[in-house]
Structure 1
Amino acid sequence: MTVAVLVPGGRGQLGSELSRLVSARPGGMVHAPGSAELDITDAEALADAVDSFAGSARDAELRPVVINAAAYTAVDAAETDADSARRLNADGAAALAEACRDAGVPLLHVSTDYVFPGDADRPYEPDDETGPSTVYGRTKLDGERAVLDSGARAWVVRTAWVYGAHGRNFVRTMARLSAERDVVSVVDDQIGSPTWAADLAGGLLELAGLAARRRGPERRVLHCTNSGAASWCEFARAVFAELGEDPDRVRPCTSAEFPSPTPRPAYSVLSGRAWQASGLTALRPWRDALAAAFAADGPKLRSS
């Protein structure tokens, strides 16, 4: 029996890749509504949407799964718009988990490296102590807890530094700046794991297949990123190389030289050991994924 996937937040960079991958599978069924079509802060609408989708999937002899890609991700704006961030990241996640519980549908909830303090010296494991320093991180952590406490068959999947052919992201920004500036300064003292949305979507669908067949891993919090680590400066230089530009046009700077209204984690690499120990396929190294992303979606990544 094939999986059917409902993706709240389906018009963003991750939701778009989930929709594309499921649609490409024989017999696959996906509904990926954007926020205008499905507002996850509306508990009644959510319950109706999950019930309706689950019923349609089962009528088609498919196993329904929900993958939540809806989130308030504007890290700086969240500091002055905490109510909106909480409604989406915490209250909306709780309502979606309750709807999935009541409909008997597994839920995969996508979260972030920002739930950690960002001061580690080794990759974070899923059970490491959290300690977010931003409104965004705190609301995402509250959403995780609500999902895990809901009684739904749910998994939290944390990821980091996601980019893709859709929406605003670091790769598309660097591509635009490469055409606008002779030299680009990028911070070199923040370390993470760049993650291609298409690879993340593939990992989530692998987990969704297990969850739908009631074979999901016992561990309920997992990390999924492309492997390896880089600074933002190293990431930017790799983007320039893929664009056919001189990577030396990217100059390193410190976070102090590039002030942000919201502190960014100095170190946010997520360990994939628990993911692999659960029988799931490790994502490829981040540099290989970036090359694959440009091979697959170069024109879209170059457009702003």
Structure 2
Amino acid sequence: MTKILITGSKGQVGRCLVEQLNNTIDIEFIALDRNELDITDSTSVEKIVTSFRPNVIINAAAHTAVDRAEEEVDLSYAINRDGPRNIAEAAEKIGAAILHISTDYVFAGDKDGEYVENDETGPQGIYGKSKLAGEIAVAQACHRHIIIRTAWVFSEHGGNFVKSMLRLAESRDTLGIVADQFGGPTYAGDIAAALIKISAAITKGASVEFGIYHYSGMPHVSWYDFAKTIFVEATEQDMLKKPTAINPIATADYPTPAKRPANSKLNNRKIYSQFGIAPSCWPLALKNLKNYTS
């Protein structure tokens, strides 16, 4: 029987993983949140891993507060670099594979067109720098590693752009939304499904090319276009009487402590070629917005 260990089980991807694995036969899994496993404690990580002896470890734990990371530098590196290293080292000791989630923020965001896996990195803030450090640590510590870079994650769980837009629509008649940052909104449930499919390929002995993969949603849009679609869907689903009026604004009009990539477009061809995993269809994931308000 396949055994999977999940860290960060209360995050967006972690919760989706648990939901999907609960309905999957022939897989035994343990899902731990930060209160149950501090990934920055190498002793605790090794104890859990050597006791459960999973075939695959999925690290969905991360410090994702992009703006707070500019102040919480040590914490960001502890969770985004040191924790993944601890997990990867423990995986290597028992011959397990590690699937680690990373981000579009490892890129500068100044490229024309889509980013591919071997493009030069150039993170602009602490979040991106700490996540890139985590990628490097995982790759160095465990040779059986899959690093999944994703972007603009949303789901029914936790805090995200979709839920923020629905909440703001209740109290605002007009919103200004950034229109000069572009990327692929990615449904966390699709990320979870991709991770489970990759785990199955690994445990079934398929010829797997370990390394870095990109996985995000299509089509690519701006935050403004994404918000517009959310409000159209909310209106059609009788959650709003009419779409909330939104105005396109520039990044310069909405200053934040951390710099965001202007271009977060990730190319998905490699993951499709290797595993048959198609990009996340984010418009489809917006078809039941009532689930995002609970």
2:121 is matched with which residue? 130
Q: Which moved more, 1:146-155 or 1:261-270?
A: 146-155
SS in 1 for 2:227: helix
Correspondence 1:107 to 2:98 = yes
> How far apart are the structure 1 equivalents of 2:215 and 2:111?
18
1:205 is matched with which residue? 196
> How far apart are the structure 2 equivalents of 1:279 and 1:33?
27
1:279 is matched with which residue? 275
Q: How does 1:38-187 map to 2 (within 5 A)?
A: 38-54=37-53, 64-187=55-178
> How far apart are the structure 2 equivalents of 1:187 and 1:142?
28
Contact kept in structure 2, 1:100 and 1:152, CA below 8 Å: no
Cα deviation for residue 137 of structure 1 reads 0.4
Cα deviation for residue 190 of structure 1 reads 0.4
2:36 is matched with which residue? 37
Cα deviation for residue 285 of structure 1 reads 3.0
TM value normalised by structure 2: 0.94
Cα deviation for residue 242 of structure 1 reads 1.8
- Residue 224 of structure 2: which of 208, 219, 233 is its match? 233
Cα deviation for residue 302 of structure 1 reads 2.0
Report Cα offsets for 1:120-162 as digits up to 9, x if no partner.
Answer: 1111001110000111101100100111111341111100000
> How far apart are the structure 1 equivalents of 2:266 and 2:208?
18
Q: How does 1:239-250 map to 2 (within 5 A)?
A: 239-244=230-235, 245=240, 246-247=242-243, 249-250=245-246
Provide structure 1 residue ranges, at least 5 long, that are not aligned to the other structure: 58-63
1:60 is matched with which residue? none
SS in 2 for 1:278: helix
Amino-acid identity (%): 39
TM value normalised by structure 1: 0.91
- Residue 253 of structure 2: which of 257, 263, 270 is its match? 257
SS in 2 for 1:108: strand
> How far apart are the structure 2 equivalents of 1:255 and 1:279?
36
> How far apart are the structure 2 equivalents of 1:44 and 1:205?
27
Cα deviation for residue 15 of structure 1 reads 0.1
> Counterpart amino acid of 2:181?
Q
Cα deviation for residue 279 of structure 1 reads 3.0
Cα deviation for residue 219 of structure 1 reads 4.5
Cα deviation for residue 196 of structure 1 reads 0.5
Contact kept in structure 2, 1:238 and 1:247, CA below 8 Å: no
> How far apart are the structure 1 equivalents of 2:275 and 2:135?
22
> How far apart are the structure 2 equivalents of 1:121 and 1:50?
42
Provide structure 2 residue ranges, at least 5 long, that are not aligned to the other structure: none
Report Cα offsets for 1:184-214 as digits up to 9, x if no partner.
Answer: 1110000010000001110111111112233
Contact kept in structure 2, 1:229 and 1:286, CA below 8 Å: no
Cα deviation for residue 166 of structure 1 reads 1.0
Cα deviation for residue 89 of structure 1 reads 0.4
SS in 2 for 1:250: strand
Contact kept in structure 2, 1:207 and 1:216, CA below 8 Å: no
Aligned length: 289
Contact kept in structure 2, 1:106 and 1:212, CA below 8 Å: no
> Counterpart amino acid of 2:49?
V
1:8 is matched with which residue? 7
> How far apart are the structure 1 equivalents of 2:261 and 2:164?
20
> How far apart are the structure 1 equivalents of 2:88 and 2:98?
7
